[in-house]
Structure 1
Amino acid sequence: MTANPGPQQPAVSAATAQRLQDAMKRLRARLRAESGQHAIGLTATQLGVLLSVVREGPVTAARLAALEHVSAQAIAQSLAVLKAAGLIHGAPDPKDGRKKLMSADPSATELIDKLLTGRASFLARAIDQVVAPGEREDVEKAIDLLERLADADLSGGAI
């Protein structure tokens, strides 16, 4: 179910789009702080790559670049840091020896679980304290909308 602004609906203003971007940025920063991510010494990009390796692994660098929407060079830089930290390792792809498959060390899985648990715990507490029971359904709707925005394919001009 996608909604497109029709002739009777005005386009979303740049100010509204900026407010959404600012709110998401502040929430991401708060989640990083509440989960203890700052103490780990990895950037948000490196942790995103690590999360993808944990969830998708064993996985190629090309697949990681596609998942993270970044260049092969950016993935290579993140993978180098993660390898040096002992969080991931590479092995030849049994189907194509020219490629390497990246896998997570068990310590990486523990780290990601700890971070995700910290973030979820903070969000659950914040929702309990800030969002009135009558607004909980609005949170569910907002999540649905954010998921649709994240999945939007605007290459054809419309979603």
Structure 2
Amino acid sequence: MDKRRIDSGDTLSATLAGDLRSIVGRLKRRLREQGTVGDFTPSQVAVLLRLERDGPATVSSLARAEGMRPQSMGTTIAPLEAAGLLAGSPDPDDGRQTLLSLTETCRTYLRKNRAAREDWLCRTIQARLTADEQRHLATAVKLLERLAAD
């Protein structure tokens, strides 16, 4: 952070916002490199994460949530189904619809990817930060949690 740019609370907030956005973006890219994202597109990853977070959904509801046309969503999910990562079952509220959900294979894949990323981050924290810096980071994490709260 450039101390010369900090001359008021508003300027400090703006500087912190820009610095934080940049740093979080770089950290996100580094973490992404540590997992095995395979040949999935960003849209496919978004669908997998949405199904994991929100539970089973129809193609139409996924398309709405992701801002896509249902036909485009069908193209997005077809390879995921073919790879055995998604399974369909009849919608109990509307038998004409199919509810998509994650398979156990997919859940295992997601867990392993997260574990790989967290392992890299843990090793990096231990290697690059002193014990005192790690305590400062713990305090910063609490502040970041407050920023990210709904």
Q: Do they fold alike, i.e. is TM over 0.5?
A: yes
Helix, strand or coil at the partner of 1:97: strand
- Unaligned residue ranges in structure 2 (runs of 5+): 1-7
Residue aligned with 2:57, SS? coil
> Do the aligned partners of residues 108 and 136 (structure 1) sit closer, same or farther apart at CA in structure 2, a change above 3 Å counting?
same
Query: Does structure 1 retain, via aligned residues, the 8 Å contact 2:52–2:102?
Result: yes
Equivalent in 84, 87, 90 of residue 89 of structure 1:
87
Equivalent position of 2:52 in the other structure: 54
Alignment of 1:1-159 (within 5 A): 9-10=9-10, 12-13=13-14, 15-37=15-37, 40-61=38-59, 62=61, 66=65, 70-73=66-69, 76=73, 78-152=76-150
Q: Which moved more, 1:76-85 or 1:104-113?
A: 76-85
Structure whose alpha-carbon radius of gyration is higher: 2
Unaligned ranges ≥5, structure 1: 1-7, 153-159
Change (3 A) 1:151 1:101: farther
Q: SS state of the match for residue 103, structure 1?
A: strand
Alpha-carbon spacing, 1:118–1:105, altered in 2? closer, same or farther (3 Å): same
CA contact (8 A) 1:93 1:100 kept: yes
Q: Deviations over 1:57-87 (max 9, x none)?
A: 3334537865xxx314388254344224331
Against the structure 1 CA distance between its residues 145 and 101, is the aligned structure 2 distance closer, same or farther, given a 3 Å change threshold?
Answer: farther
Letter in 2 for 1:30: R
What is the letter of the counterpart of residue 120 of structure 1?
Answer: E
Q: Give the structure with the higher percent helix.
A: 2
Distance 1:24 1:43 in 2: 21
SS in 1 for 2:34: helix
Aligned to 2:5: none
**Contact between 1:87 and 1:107, CA under 8 Å: does it hold in 2?**
yes
Task: Say whether the 8 Å CA contact 2:63–2:69 is kept in structure 1.
Answer: no
Given that 1:53 and 1:64 are in contact with CA atoms closer than 8 Å, whether structure 2 keeps it comes out as: no
What is the aligned-residue identity percentage?
A: 32
Query: 1:112: Cα distance to partner?
Result: 0.7
Distance (Å, rounded) in 1 between the aligned partners of 2:76 and 2:145: 26
Q: Distance in 1 between matches of 2:126 and 2:145?
A: 22
Larger RCO: 1 or 2 (CA < 8 Å, sep 6+): 1
